[in-house]
Structure 1
């Protein structure tokens, strides 16, 4: 049984030993190190603590007796169930570790599918991508690295709460300093891209982006259908914008989709035009409906492994089209040290390629991972919502050879947990730590924050607007995944019509267009469900 399923903790002598071990871990977490901002401890607006001291790798954390690591040393325990008869981890494990993820493609594609009058396939619904599609109000650090914010609220389900772990990078100042970008666009020109809202949308967006990039940025263009072709080698913009526009405008849809050849040629082109001191990134724009050549993400990535690892070239996947190969694009981005988004209209595309350009091309952290340690004296059960494909072994949190997530400026990462506290719980609830490497020097850094059980005293629907938006997004994803028996309902879940009302109220109170779109998507799901 995986760590992403519900876990349990018993009040026993073992539990007391676990607490002693975890307290040692928490004490170490309070001294975690980072390379940006001022030293010392500060209070977040919600009362959580964030520690920011120094930098350098620390020893791997100790693991509680009875954890997954303890069982590997010979301990055994029987299978257990929660109050509703659902199975969960067979032994107490108070650590949750995952690679950071800022993908939003799952939510974007769900909105497109619902707008077409269809319910999305449950297998394409990833709750963390729904949650991370909305603006958060976390405090941001001054330099590279992360701030850590933790808060929570009680659900309407007895003893269950939602705990939100929020990580934020520095603000993305569009006019601020950033390294030059060397971008290789790998553009799908297969026959399926002839549908309105695919190739035409990509061409328009790339044309606008070309005018927004700086003179010292560089662009290359690779196309693929049945074969791949480098249409434009790496070209410094400067006085060459007209040449780039001509290459974009000349693109026309052709035949089949050899995505593997496109990615391989794209990375080769990026490596040939590699710029030291620049952000070198491959931007894949496709419906990811591969039907020729290599169609397996792992096989495709094996062929470009040297360029990906040796040169640090990352992948940014942009999905388009009413039919979309979600699974292939997501795996390519996850294993290609990048992230994905999905666009369905001109406004969305221009937002990705223009407004959000700094966070999509620049990097402030490599191989970023998070670990949350729950206190066995206050927490009985917990479940991480989503991040199913991003799980990391607990002992690999400080193993810098293990892949994490690549994060840019202006990003926020939210991890939402369903947490069941013990009766009368008080005191320390959890400590969250994030570890990352400097994008240039690969120097490791850490930051941590902790939260008390008192943070769960308020009810969910009386919490801050942004917390409620996070909850509605998670509950919406939860409702859409109910066609898949692998995922039990979240505590406090609401039917779609009630979620729609909550989202509608939040759209009015936040005056946030994205929240209004969330309410519209839930309304569309309510209609499609009838």
Structure 2
């Protein structure tokens, strides 16, 4: 007899409740109609199929809870890029900061997986921008005919007394109907032996089934698999051929070695063959990232992706699993491929990424999006950007339209935080220069900074410029609402990286800050964040007690 743990029972109850509480649509859809999808109203068919997929995933998540991966001696052996925190800059010496935006969320969900498994993450696995941008914020929409709403807020730093936080926010325009453009998608699936675990191929299949349930007859789907060699499982199917696509996904099984380069080449070949002009053309790589290729082959692979993005085919990476997970490669490939990287640790995250945020993930409204901030040395003594370490650009790159930067999808929100010390503050971490500060210009004494945004609209090779001035008005207020929660997310990430710039701030302070900014939290993501902070606090205390 199979034994079911209390955790499994709780998960089942939550998932059943989630399905039961969804509002019903007037149209009734039965199983016979689902086999003939063109006879069913699209909205009703999608909702019915989503419920079936989520209900089917319920048993998968129950099984997954019984197979939590714990590496030997609780030592993380996964691969991460080295990401030391950004340092402080003295404004008088370097007043300009330039970076590419980033809309990835993979680091946050990957860290969530570790904390839920009772493990503190390695510092390099933590990317603060992923933590901040994982959450929705109530930003004002872009004005009619505009691509972005660019906004700023200034408040006292909740981490370090006597300092300030500058929040820069972008809100991308949202089409009237979600995901209007037809899509040409190639599912590139890793079916090598390393994908056998419950949190890998089985979860991957359930995730792509959710995405499939969103498609229509205007869309195209291809499926390529790779292990020791690549294989085209589905050359091209119309998006309304739901049964055929899902049967192909359900037929997948894991086994063999991993050579992802051949699979990627084949996936791009199909994407070009089925290319939709003025549509969404994208390869979706779903894997644990454990490619068995040499360094020279890896560099060739990166060059291939750089070339392919010029053809209009983007690359999204979906990460799965633990133990051998290669976050460094997954993030690098998505950056090179003008796409996003997400880590899927459970079916609810799959639903968030592939249903709730589908248009933001797929329909690009701006490419090569860069931000440049010029701080006023008469007002700002020093500054540091929180996160975006591997997105930093040279000052001259801002005006160079040949320099690659990040992409923003429809309705995407992007947030960045700078911590500042004003010239009037006694709390500085870098000694001022004796022979520079006395010669500062004062003609802009009420301006803190100028922020410039540069981006290209789809199909354009020339960028557009947007700018705003940040004033000192109301700069001594406390952070609240969304600002408080974004600061909590950034602060949590910094503590997990070692807290070099957090001084006397601890997890308890982050908890208070998150509670202050929690708000309505209709999806429960912020409540979950608060639980993760408590878990990290407990794990840190426990580890400290063993030293």
Which TM-score tier does this pair reach, normalised by the shorter chain?
A: 0.7 to 0.9
Contact 2:480 2:516 in 1 (8 A): no
Counterpart mapping for 1:365-444 below 5 A: 365-423=366-424, 427-444=446-463
**1:5 paired residue number:** 87
Report the CA distance shift for 1:108/1:297 in structure 2 as closer, same or farther (over 3 A).
farther
Bigger drift between 147-156 and 395-404 goes to 147-156
Of 181, 184, 187, 1:185 maps to: 187
CA distance in 2, matches of 1:433, 1:3: 23
**1:450 paired residue number:** 469
**1:44 paired residue number:** none
Unpaired segments of 5 or more residues in structure 1?
11-91
Bigger drift between 118-127 and 296-305 goes to 296-305
Q: Secondary structure at the match of 2:518?
A: helix
CA distance in 1, matches of 2:521, 2:219: 36
Bigger drift between 197-206 and 514-523 goes to 197-206
CA distance in 2, matches of 1:429, 1:495: 29
* Cα distance, 1:358 vs structure 2: 1.0
Give CA-to-partner distance per residue, 1:66-104, whole Å, 9 cap, x none. Answer: xxxxxxxxxxxxxxxxxxxxxxxxxx1111111111011
Say whether 1:496 aligns with 2:497: no
**2:343 paired residue number:** 342
Report the CA distance shift for 1:148/1:305 in structure 2 as closer, same or farther (over 3 A).
closer
**2:362 paired residue number:** 361
* Cα distance, 1:517 vs structure 2: 1.1
Contact 1:267 1:282 in 2 (8 A): yes
* Cα distance, 1:195 vs structure 2: 1.0
CA distance in 2, matches of 1:332, 1:325: 11
**1:27 paired residue number:** none
* Cα distance, 1:322 vs structure 2: 2.5
* Cα distance, 1:512 vs structure 2: 5.5
Bigger drift between 315-324 and 385-394 goes to 315-324
Contact 1:368 1:435 in 2 (8 A): yes
Say whether 1:527 aligns with 2:538: yes
**1:202 paired residue number:** 204
Counterpart mapping for 1:236-247 below 5 A: 236-238=238-240, 240-247=241-248
Count of residue pairs the alignment pairs up: 437
Unpaired segments of 5 or more residues in structure 2?
1-83, 426-441, 543-547
Higher percent of residues as helix = 2
Give CA-to-partner distance per residue, 1:395-435, whole Å, 9 cap, x none. Answer: 11111110011110111111110111111895111121111
Report the CA distance shift for 1:138/1:201 in structure 2 as closer, same or farther (over 3 A).
same
Contact 1:187 1:284 in 2 (8 A): yes
* Cα distance, 1:5 vs structure 2: 2.2
Report the CA distance shift for 1:294/1:229 in structure 2 as closer, same or farther (over 3 A).
farther
Bigger drift between 229-238 and 208-217 goes to 229-238
Q: Secondary structure at the match of 1:397?
A: helix
Give CA-to-partner distance per residue, 1:254-292, whole Å, 9 cap, x none. Answer: 122222222222222212222222111111111112234
Q: Secondary structure at the match of 2:90?
A: coil
TM-score (norm 1): 0.78
CA distance in 1, matches of 2:353, 2:179: 20
Of 472, 477, 486, 1:470 maps to: 486
CA distance in 2, matches of 1:144, 1:190: 45
Give CA-to-partner distance per residue, 1:192-219, whole Å, 9 cap, x none. Answer: 2211122111211222322211210111
C-alpha root-mean-square deviation of aligned residues, in Å? 2.2
* Cα distance, 1:503 vs structure 2: 2.6
Of 153, 168, 185, 2:171 maps to: 168
**1:39 paired residue number:** none
Report the CA distance shift for 1:348/1:3 in structure 2 as closer, same or farther (over 3 A).
closer
CA distance in 2, matches of 1:450, 1:122: 35
Contact 1:185 1:284 in 2 (8 A): yes
TM-score (norm 2): 0.76
Give CA-to-partner distance per residue, 1:289-320, whole Å, 9 cap, x none. Answer: 223466875431213443322x1211111111
**1:319 paired residue number:** 319
CA distance in 2, matches of 1:144, 1:219: 32
Counterpart mapping for 1:295-334 below 5 A: 298-309=299-310, 311-323=311-323, 324-334=325-335
Contact 1:3 1:96 in 2 (8 A): no
